[in-house]
Amino acid sequence: MNTQSPFDYQGKRVLVVGMARSGVDASRLLLRLGAFPLLNDRKNREALGDQLACLEGTRAEWHLGEDPVPLLDGADALLISPGVPIDAPVVLEAQKRGLYTIGELEFAFQQAQGVMIGITGTNGKTTTVTLLGEILKAAGHTAYVSGNIGLPLSQTAMQSRPGDMLVTEISSFQLESIDTFHARVAAVLNVTEDHLIRHYTMDNYIAMKRRVFNRQTADDVAVLNADDPICARMAEGLPARVAWFSRRRVDLPGAFVRDGEIVIRWDGKETAICPAKDVYIPGPHNLENAMAAAMTAFALGVPAGVIAQTLRTFRGVEHRIEYVATVDGVRYINDSKGTNADSTIKAIDTMTAPTVLILGGYDKHVSFAELARHIAESPQIDRLVLLGATADQLEKELRAAGVARILRAASFEEAVSLSRQSAQAGGCVLLSPACASFDMFTCFEERGERFKELVRKMVRA
């Protein structure tokens, strides 16, 4: 068991706000602990569909579509899903009343058993945790990959046992509400502008990311990107041993590339892992993800040979630079997980043929100026198709950067159709929106699945 819960849930009425996957699994775990969950979401029962079916017939109380603040009158504690900000009225009121308040990640951590590994960063989290999970499984460990990746840590907590490896993807939203969360190995992969509609300022966003190291001690390891100046500054004052990963430097403890070889320097020794060209997943950003996973696994005692074999065979994750099909000589690439500008820049850098890029989506109140400059300088981006809530802003910043080959689409389906019409044989169509999906879809996965569905219809036509 990790840190014992400071709150006894047995017989307590716990208001759970946010009935997405995290809230549902947290409620299931509360039921196991003998609590009485009060289920709340701004959506009503009809809008939530069957995602709460597993809670039917339990002692949970249903308060869907209701204002959560009045429900505090009958609650002993408040548990919030990651989508609920720590400055939400219900959280502020609960704290004012002195009610025990906890986030889903912190709650799940307190109930989980095993070795906690926490991975955060603006981009690359899902690829890195999935790859790390595969490395640990190949080494013979029971490894759970959960957290922000889609499988809540609350679900893992119900299955985990001492000695299990809990590879946890952690978002800045989840880090807002941690307290006793303690990772044996924690990593920050990179930090670029994102989620300012939630965190307000870049300084706040950076501070949230650094919180993943809060409870570490000298017995733990903090993994950081030496090539990212924000990450580099995070090392200052950390009690944990710092392990770096870098594509550019070879003078630090950690994972680096020297003469085309991935090498790890740790405990005063150097260990060759494999040639960098052997890493199966493409792109310089994925080399960084691979080194972060390799360093983390090595710090956990995984042999170099096991790490190397997994780096050579790991095929990547769905919705991240995912090849879908070739239609009329054009390759279609699904990068729906490209939900911010930096992620899309990395996807662009993997393109090796003339590419039509589909951009746009939910407005997170961030600048696209750097992305626009990158597109203007890219030899591969042939044309852009813009859609969604950010289309106007994107077009303004792209034209300011000198990009002229721009089309506008009124719907996602039209965007794919225009891309097909514009693409040339031997080229690519890349869906990498640089935006979240919430203006058109419930999540980036739904957006990616719709893209793949439309492409497969082309194949069958």
Spell out the domains of the chain, with CATH numbers in brackets: 13-104 (3.40.50.720), 112-313 (3.40.1190.10), 322-460 (3.90.190.20)
DSSP assigned state of 159: T
**Active-site residue (options: 40, 148, 286, 340):** 148
**How far, in whole angstroms, is CA 141 from its chain's centroid?**
23
Q: For residue 118, which of 262, 240, 266 has the smallest C-alpha distance?
A: 240
* Residue 181 near residue 109, CB atoms below 8 Å: yes
The ranges of the chain with pLDDT < 70 are: 1-5
What integer pLDDT is reported at residue 4 of this predicted model? Answer: 52
How many other C-beta atoms lie within 10 A of the C-beta of residue 277? 9
285 is catalytic: no
- Give me the catalytic one of 2, 40, 190, 195: 195
pLDDT at position 116, please? 98
Alpha-helical regions (H) of 281-427: 284-299, 304-313, 341-348, 369-377, 391-400, 412-422
Backbone phi, psi, residue 79, to 5°: -120, 125
- Residue pLDDT, tens place only, 15-72: 999 998 999 999 999 999 999 999 999 999 888 888 899 999 999 999 999 999 999 9
Give the CA diameter of the chain.
Answer: 65
Q: Is 125 a catalytic residue?
A: yes
Q: Tens digits of per-residue pLDDT, 166-196?
A: 999 999 999 999 999 999 999 999 998 777 7
Model pTM greater than 0.85?
no
pLDDT at position 248, please?
95
List C-alpha distances in Å: 346 to 113, 131, 280, 365, 421: 36, 18, 16, 20, 25
Q: Is 195 a catalytic residue?
A: yes
Helix then strand then coil, % of the chain, to nearest 5? 35, 20, 40
Residue 456: both structure tokens together: 């497969």
Given 125, 141, 346, 452, which residue is catalytic? Answer: 125
Write down the pLDDT at residue 364.
85
Q: What is the DSSP string of 239-301?
A: SSEEEEEESS--SSSEEEEETTEEEEEETTEEEEEEEGGG-SS-SHHHHHHHHHHHHHHHHTT
Q: What is the pLDDT, as a whole number, of residue 3?
A: 44
